[in-house]
Amino acid sequence: MKYTQLGRTGLKVGRLVLGTMNFGPQTDEADSHAIMDAALDAGVNLFDTANVYGWGENKGRTEEIIGNWFAGGGDRRDKVVLATKVYGNMAADGEPWPNHDKLSALNIRRAVDASLKRLRTDHIDVYQFHHVDRRTPFEEIWQAIDVLVRQGKILYVGSSNFPGYKIAQANEIAARRGGTIGLVSEQCLYNLAERRAEMEVIPAAEEYGLGVIPWSPLHGGLLGGVIKKEVAGGRRASGRSADALANTSVRAQIQAYEDLLDKHGVEPGEAALAWLLTRPGVTGPIVGPRTTEQLESALRALELELSRELLDALDEIFPGPGPSPEAFAW
């Protein structure tokens, strides 16, 4: 495993991040534990989750599965950099209820304690805001975070799905207040087929010293060899991937991508991950394996070096927007 610093911090994390969103809804507890065992054995040390994972009436279930794994003993918890998120409504009855969601000081305090209980640990290494809260001022958010840091319940804070201006606003207010060091990471939608983050989000993250942790690195499976699998009679595209492939221009683009990688003898999913590892500011992409075999495929991407020729060809198929403001102005 190759390691890097998480943004401007002294925290060392692997260049592949284990996403756990499938634990519970698609992968049972025993298989989830096997995946975490395999990830740790491979040197993956940043595990990402969220309080709402498990979804619906099972929200919180994913954190419980991770907590049960920690309780298995050994030095699992000491080796893992644990990241979870707060924002979604966690009211027990499943009905929306005031103050059980978003980023008020009251909900942050409640959510941290509930996550710690489910995760069966005494602290969260990276506590992440899952979405922008347009109604809660950052002064209130940072006050709540300062208290939790002093209590030893959290160490670092990250964001997810933040636009560039909110990253700037959050860290400028943190700097004016003193105390917390502000945001140290940003999880954003970023992959070969979705490069809008290059316009504002990633430049803001680099300017303020945040590590970028891309989610959906295979763009919902579109970049994982979906057409090749269809032709071979394997798993067919479904959901958003199927809808996207119904667009003839998108299908032609994905076909060109798969043909290019076939020519170079590279697996599409591994190439998509390896491409992200070449991008400025990227700490490591989140992979959400449903099986240990999928984890093994993702790990192979760490050893894959893409030639300049191949990188240029990928840019031709999936051109990025370019830097701002030139991307939308002269």
Q: Are strands 12-14 and 3-5 parallel, antiparallel or unpaired?
A: antiparallel
Residue indicated by tokens 């040390």 = 45
241 touches 215 (CB < 8 A): no
Segments of 145-199 assigned E as strands:
154-160, 183-189
- 225: nearest Cα among 236, 214, 216: 236
Only one residue has tokens 């890097």, namely: 4
Nearest CA to 42 among 9, 79, 7, 68? Answer: 79
| Tokens describing residue 329 | 């102005």
Distances (CA, A) of 329 to 53, 195, 198: 40, 18, 15
Based on its alpha-carbon atoms, the radius of gyration of the chain, rounded to whole angstroms, reads 20
Asked whether the beta carbons of 134 and 90 are under 8 A apart, the reply is no
Provide the 3-class DSSP secondary structure of residue 288.
Answer: coil
Active-site annotation holds for 53: yes
Among the listed residues 8, 319, 66, 7, the one whose alpha carbon sits nearest the alpha carbon of residue 194: 319
Residue of 3, 53, 127, 257 marked catalytic: 53
**CA–CA distance, 318 with 304 (Å, rounded to integer):** 20
Measured at the alpha carbon of residue 205, what is the angle toward residues 18 and 114, in degrees to the nearest 5?
50
Q: Are 17 and 213 in contact (CB under 8 A)?
A: yes
Residues serving a catalytic function are 53
